[in-house]
Chains A and B, each alone.
Chain A
Amino acid sequence: MKAFEYTRASSPADAAALAAKTPGARFIAGGTNLLDLMKLEIETPTHLIDVNKLALDRIEETSDGGLRIGALVRNTDLAADKRVRRDYAVLTRAIVAGASGQLRNKATTAGNLLQRTRCPYFYDPNQPCNKRKPGSGCAAIGGFSRQLAVIGTSKACIATYPGDMAIAMRLLDATVETVKPDGSTRKIAIADFHRLPGDTPHLDNTLQTGELITAVTLPKPLGGKHFYHKVRDRASYAFALVSVAAVVQKDGTGRVAFGGMAHKPWRVEAAEAALPKGAAATAKIAFAGATPTHDNAFKLQLAERTLAAVLHEARG
């Protein structure tokens, strides 16, 4: 870990302005991912801007019947919120499927969206990694890739986005609200928030330098049955091999998003039209053009079968 300066931000706009004018600055909230990465010198910020004291920790109802979740709402609190449990159960289920109780007590809504990949080569500074060190190469390609992406990959990177919460957010068509260094605000559709790696895998998302997430909003509830089925190598405390977030209506229509498959939460709206026809038809469209490795080709079959289990339960 490199020595760093520490500042406590006084307002979201001040935090963004400070971050923009301070090279090497990073925001810190729960720190559950950033601090680990700093210890390994994968992240080497020279300045940490602590946003924990900003009053962004409330969940409020919006005028159009949705919810506005403050950036600093802790995972535990979000998952436990009565309105979330009642109207957005997929979100609660996704959150409690991730990490551990202790981590969820610290992790924030915004921070969780920014969780970085768990690719083991990203985590070993001795190995080439275009995400950690642009231009150095990708050791994961041709290496141990069981956990890694099967679709939307590039020649530069096959990392996956590791989180659970964001898969549900993507399913629910959430919107990320930010403040920019000039004090202006913007709204980013969750579909446009995470990026595919392309030839710039060091960029996980579309935030600009200094831009700070202030809230995530959910549109009005979808109804239907909510599912988050996470499949992993042990029963708890592991990243998903594959996860399926779904909302299924009585008539068999619905939405589905997948975790563990790509560099971002994977949702193909065109595939959802096939949901009434079943898992195979849906997966065929959702994963058309997939580029798995020898190690992770099983994820395609697993995703389809996991979706089949969800649809089976939805009918039951």
Chain B
Amino acid sequence: MKFDTPATTNPIDRLKVVGKATDRIDGPLKTTGRAPYAYERHDVAPGAAYGYVLGSAIAKGRIIGMDLTAAKAAPGVLAIVTAENAGKLTKGNFNTANLLGGPEIEHYHQAVALVVAETFEQARAASSLIRIDYARTKGRFDLEAEMANAPLPPPGFGGPSESKVGNFAGAFAAAPVQLDARYTTPDHSHAMMEPHASTAKWEGDQLLLWTSNQMINWGKGDVARTLGLPKEKVRLMSPFVGGGFGGKLFVRADAILAALGAKAAGRPVKVALQRPLIANNTTHRPATIQRIRLGATRDGKITAIGHESWSGDLPGGGPETAVGQTRLLYAGENRLTAMRLAVLDLPEGNAMRAPGEAPGLMALEIAMDEMAEKLGMDPVEFRAINDTQVDPEAANRPFSQRQLIQCMRIGAEKFGWAKRAKAPGAIREGRWLIGMGMAAAFRNNLNGKSGARVRLDGKGVVTVETDMTDIGTGTYTIIAQTAAEMMGVPLETVVVRLGDSSFPASAGSGGQWGANSSTAGVYAACSMLRDKVTAALGFNSADVVFEDGHVRAGNRSVALAEAAKGGELVAEDFMDYGDLAKKYQQSTFGAHFVEVGVDAATAEVRVRRMLAVCAAGRILNPKSARSQVIGAMTMGVGSALMEELAVDKRFGYFVNHDLAGYEVPVHADIPHQEVIFLEETDPTTSPMKAKGVGELGLCGVGAAVANAIYNACGVRVRDYPVTLDKLLPGMPAFA
């Protein structure tokens, strides 16, 4: 099915199942421990041996000698895989560095060996007996030092690396009110609960790989490419994923090494990356240095808006696309954006939840707060008067929907924004300095081709199969809701099977495109199944209705199950997209409001209240959508207050590579969170009229927290995370 004209009325609009707050259909499996994750597939791969990954001890250089003798002789060892004995491996299309290093070492903790043994403990103990001599070479580990060597990279996922409209330099110089400020965001780790994990089993020349991955079709391609196998000889299964946040968009060392280990050991092998390897062996969100220049008239109209970003990556990698939102969020006739990319020999950077917008808005939305203050304007008003209903870089492209002002106004009303003190440091309760901050939220909507297969059996059970993944987001449930709505059956009559590469390829989970794209694919397949049902039951009316488990037209009503009496009906289709996303700018919008307390003595920050107002198309399941948003708000608090991969610029690695050193919020850090979804349907996105929210919920949160801190204590911090050591020098004396 092709989606190339805006949607009109369709069966989804009945909203009998879709749009209702619905418990996760996979919830009981998870709460009772029966949802099988990749590392625990003894049900399908019994007798698996254990693989343990040894990471490189240096960041850059060469292995000049490797002695496996002692490790091979260690108790229980079955095989050791290294670059020397692994055979030819081709780097995956989605990888920047090789997943198995040696003799060249590209980054710290790059995998250099897999030890396979009878037990996990034996594999781990033997790995420490591998003796490696390294020759270090000098690496580049300091983004600041490499800024001068950072060219504009070729266009990539985030579009062109530079954009110019009007005469930015002239307009900025002439602006009566100016802001020119520098902001930094640190490297972030996905730090998901479930580490990257895989169980591999060979059946002849067929590889079965149970893995934890967001993008099954990408993964299947890259496993095949890396191992030199035909695609049809690789099957990936990832029915449950314990968090990904972008860290599992790509095939990582666990998958490739499990496959190689299983071949070498002649039996199934399972591999989970140990926690200390997550930070340096896998991908991370790259640090940025950002310069923002805003020029405005005295009445607050932006006349010049400039946003430049610097980030680094290994050779062949890409930039953190931190300026993307600045091309679309605010009006202004003269515009400049640029993303520059330095070569760094740190582990490879890549997407983490809301790549680009998350760090970009952390900077831009502080800048907007600073500019509002310079203008003596309320931050909400300043943003509102610079709203635009068209793409500011291409005025002939309207936004399909844009309720930013509504989000801000409703949020301000609900949050009690009017009580915010204009001057910072004005409100004190006991030892706490209290402040409020807000930020706009913006994240693009992306659609991807997505397929599904739908089966109807003689009992009326509808089964959906797609390689789409549920990374904790609630995909199982919204797909079941979609199929139930389309086929006119209760939710309980729908079975959803996900994450298997033998199912039709989906858009996968990433970039908050999963919900709309995957359900649109299910819509397409269900539309085809409806036609088959209609034909099987001998209806020829165009106004046939699927409802309450029956198919009805005029006076005739037949149970849906009747259609499959003679055998299962199967329909497979996909949704593909025309150019509506080119004609219309499809984005999601929101506003975040935060109240913090700052300890007047210690400068500790405690978030006291949070509110997100989101306008993101049709909300398919308000319950799981809310969970997505509050989870994202929590992540936003982490990025504001504590998350930072600390770079050792001498040795070239992230030092705090465990969950004691890399702090993310705990329950005690997170206060009452409220989420409001505005009524919205977007007919340009798909027949579902939906968009994504999973990343929108994060976008802007960091800046809202930072702005609230400024309002509370009067200290403006432009370098994240806003830890107390950065606040202390500016804090008033404690008395």
Q: Could you list which residues of chain A lie within 8 angstroms of chain B, going by C-beta atoms?
A: 1-3, 39-41, 118, 120-121, 123-127, 139, 142-144, 146, 229, 231-239, 241, 298, 301-302, 305-306, 308-309, 312
CA distance in complex: A1, B119 (Å): 12
B663 interface contact, C-beta 8 A: yes
Q: Are A305 and B602 in contact (CB under 8 A)?
A: yes
Whose C-beta in chain B lies nearest to the C-beta of A126? Answer: B57
Q: Are B656 and A306 in contact (CB under 8 A)?
A: no
B148 interface contact, C-beta 8 A: no
Q: Are B666 and A144 in contact (CB under 8 A)?
A: no
Residues on the A chain within 8 Å of B431, using CB? 309, 312
Name, among B646, B655, B666, B669, the residue most crowded by chain A CB atoms within 10 Å (CB to CB): B655
Tell me the minimal C-beta distance from A42 to chain B in angstroms: 11
Name, among A123, A126, A238, the residue most crowded by chain B CB atoms within 10 Å (CB to CB): A126
Tell me the minimal C-beta distance from A57 to chain B in angstroms: 28
Q: Are A121 and B57 in contact (CB under 8 A)?
A: no
Tell me the minimal C-beta distance from B563 to chain A in angstroms: 54
Q: Are A120 and B661 in contact (CB under 8 A)?
A: yes
Neighbour of A118 across the interface among B604, B642, B647, B660, CB < 8 A: B660
Tell me the minimal C-beta distance from B65 to chain A in angstroms: 17
Q: Closest 8 interchain pairs by CB?
A: A309-B601, A235-B668, A298-B725, A126-B57, A236-B668, A144-B646, A144-B655, A235-B669
* Given known A118-B660, A120-B656, contact A146–B646 (CB-CB < 8 A): yes
Whose C-beta in chain A lies nearest to the C-beta of B660? Answer: A118
Given contacts A120-B661, A309-B602, 12 further A-B contacts (CB under 8 A): A118-B660, A123-B658, A142-B650, A143-B650, A233-B642, A234-B669, A236-B669, A237-B666, A302-B603, A302-B725, A312-B601, A312-B735
Tell me the minimal C-beta distance from A218 to chain B in angstroms: 28
Whose C-beta in chain A lies nearest to the C-beta of B600? Answer: A309
CA distance in complex: A146, B734 (Å): 23
Residues 637-672 of chain B: 1 if any A CB is under 8 Å from the residue's CB, otherwise 0?
000011000111011000111101101011111000
Q: Are B651 and A139 in contact (CB under 8 A)?
A: yes
Residues on the A chain within 8 Å of B646, using CB? 120, 144, 146
Neighbour of A124 across the interface among B657, B667, B734, CB < 8 A: B657
Residues on the A chain within 8 Å of B599, using CB? 309
Residues on the A chain within 8 Å of B128, using CB? 41, 125
Tell me the minimal C-beta distance from B152 to chain A in angstroms: 31
What are 16 A-B contacts with C-beta separation under 8 Å? A1-B121, A3-B121, A118-B661, A124-B657, A126-B57, A144-B647, A144-B648, A146-B646, A233-B642, A234-B642, A234-B663, A239-B660, A302-B724, A306-B602, A308-B735, A309-B602
Q: Is the interface of B mostly helix, strand, loop or mixed?
A: loop
Q: Is the interface of A mostly helix, strand, loop or mixed?
A: loop
CA distance in complex: A186, B642 (Å): 44
Residues on the B chain within 8 Å of A127, using CB? 651
Tell me the minimal C-beta distance from B115 to chain A in angstroms: 13
Q: How many residues of B contact A (CB 8 A)?
A: 42
Neighbour of B601 across the interface among A3, A139, A232, A308, CB < 8 A: A308
Tell me the minimal C-beta distance from B725 to chain A in angstroms: 4
Name, among B58, B602, B604, the residue most crowded by chain A CB atoms within 10 Å (CB to CB): B602
Neighbour of A143 across the interface among B125, B648, B728, CB < 8 A: B648
Residues on the B chain within 8 Å of A118, using CB? 660-661
Neighbour of B602 across the interface among A142, A231, A234, A237, CB < 8 A: A231
B154 interface contact, C-beta 8 A: no
Residues on the B chain within 8 Å of A308, using CB? 601, 734-735
B124 interface contact, C-beta 8 A: yes
Residues on the B chain within 8 Å of A144, using CB? 646-648, 655-656
Whose C-beta in chain B lies nearest to the C-beta of A100? Answer: B666
Name, among A118, A124, A139, A308, the residue most crowded by chain B CB atoms within 10 Å (CB to CB): A124
Residues on the B chain within 8 Å of A41, using CB? 128
Tell me the minimal C-beta distance from A75 to chain B in angstroms: 18
B226 interface contact, C-beta 8 A: no
Residues on the B chain within 8 Å of A120, using CB? 646, 655-657, 661
Residues on the B chain within 8 Å of A298, using CB? 724-725, 728
Q: Are B75 and A236 in contact (CB under 8 A)?
A: no
Q: Are B125 and A3 in contact (CB under 8 A)?
A: yes
Tell me the minimal C-beta distance from B596 to chain A in angstroms: 12
CA distance in complex: A39, B276 (Å): 11
Residues on the B chain within 8 Å of A235, using CB? 606, 666, 668-669
Residues 210-253 of chain B: 1 if any A CB is under 8 Å from the residue's CB, otherwise 0?
00000000000000000000000000000000000000000000
Residues on the B chain within 8 Å of A139, using CB? 648, 651
CA distance in complex: A312, B665 (Å): 29
CA distance in complex: A123, B657 (Å): 9
Q: Are A233 and B656 in contact (CB under 8 A)?
A: no
CA distance in complex: A231, B601 (Å): 11
Tell me the minimal C-beta distance from A191 to chain B in angstroms: 27
Residues on the A chain within 8 Å of B731, using CB? 305
Q: Are B668 and A234 in contact (CB under 8 A)?
A: yes
Tell me the minimal C-beta distance from B132 to chain A in angstroms: 10
Residues on the A chain within 8 Å of B735, using CB? 308, 312
Complex interface residues of chain B between 699 and 735 (CB less than 8 A to chain A): 723-725, 728-729, 731, 734-735
Tell me the minimal C-beta distance from A47 to chain B in angstroms: 16
Residues on the A chain within 8 Å of B658, using CB? 123
CA distance in complex: A52, B728 (Å): 45
Q: Are A301 and B125 in contact (CB under 8 A)?
A: no
Q: Are B663 and A238 in contact (CB under 8 A)?
A: yes
CA distance in complex: A215, B331 (Å): 70
Q: Are B666 and A143 in contact (CB under 8 A)?
A: no
Q: Are B125 and A1 in contact (CB under 8 A)?
A: yes
Tell me the minimal C-beta distance from A281 to chain B in angstroms: 15
Q: Are B276 and A124 in contact (CB under 8 A)?
A: yes
Residues on the B chain within 8 Å of A143, using CB? 648, 650-651, 655
Q: Are B657 and A3 in contact (CB under 8 A)?
A: no
CA distance in complex: A40, B731 (Å): 41
* Given known A2-B125, A126-B57, contact A305–B650 (CB-CB < 8 A): no
Residues on the A chain within 8 Å of B663, using CB? 233-234, 238
Residues on the B chain within 8 Å of A237, using CB? 666, 668
Tell me the minimal C-beta distance from B194 to chain A in angstroms: 19
Whose C-beta in chain A lies nearest to the C-beta of B124? Answer: A1
CA distance in complex: A305, B732 (Å): 11
CA distance in complex: A235, B668 (Å): 6
Tell me the minimal C-beta distance from B713 to chain A in angstroms: 13
* Given known A142-B650, A309-B734, contact A231–B666 (CB-CB < 8 A): no
Residues on the B chain within 8 Å of A231, using CB? 602, 604, 724
CA distance in complex: A126, B653 (Å): 11
Residues on the B chain within 8 Å of A306, using CB? 601-602
CA distance in complex: A239, B660 (Å): 8
* Given known A41-B128, A143-B655, A302-B724, contact A236–B660 (CB-CB < 8 A): no
Neighbour of A233 across the interface among B57, B121, B655, B723, CB < 8 A: B723
Residues on the B chain within 8 Å of A238, using CB? 660, 663
CA distance in complex: A40, B601 (Å): 38
Tell me the minimal C-beta distance from B52 to chain A in angstroms: 11
Residues 655-699 of chain B: 1 if any A CB is under 8 Å from the residue's CB, otherwise 0?
111101101011111000000000000000000000000000000
Q: Are B661 and A301 in contact (CB under 8 A)?
A: no
Residues on the A chain within 8 Å of B75, using CB? 3
Q: Are A121 and B666 in contact (CB under 8 A)?
A: no
Q: Are B728 and A236 in contact (CB under 8 A)?
A: no
CA distance in complex: A234, B276 (Å): 21
CA distance in complex: A234, B665 (Å): 7
Tell me the minimal C-beta distance from A235 to chain B in angstroms: 4
Residues on the A chain within 8 Å of B648, using CB? 139, 143-144
Tell me the minimal C-beta distance from A229 to chain B in angstroms: 8
Whose C-beta in chain A lies nearest to the C-beta of B134? Answer: A126
Residues on the A chain within 8 Å of B121, using CB? 1, 3
Q: Are A234 and B650 in contact (CB under 8 A)?
A: no
Whose C-beta in chain B lies nearest to the C-beta of A147? Answer: B661
CA distance in complex: A229, B657 (Å): 27
Residues on the B chain within 8 Å of A302, using CB? 602-603, 724-725, 728
Residues on the A chain within 8 Å of B276, using CB? 40, 124
Q: Are B666 and A234 in contact (CB under 8 A)?
A: yes
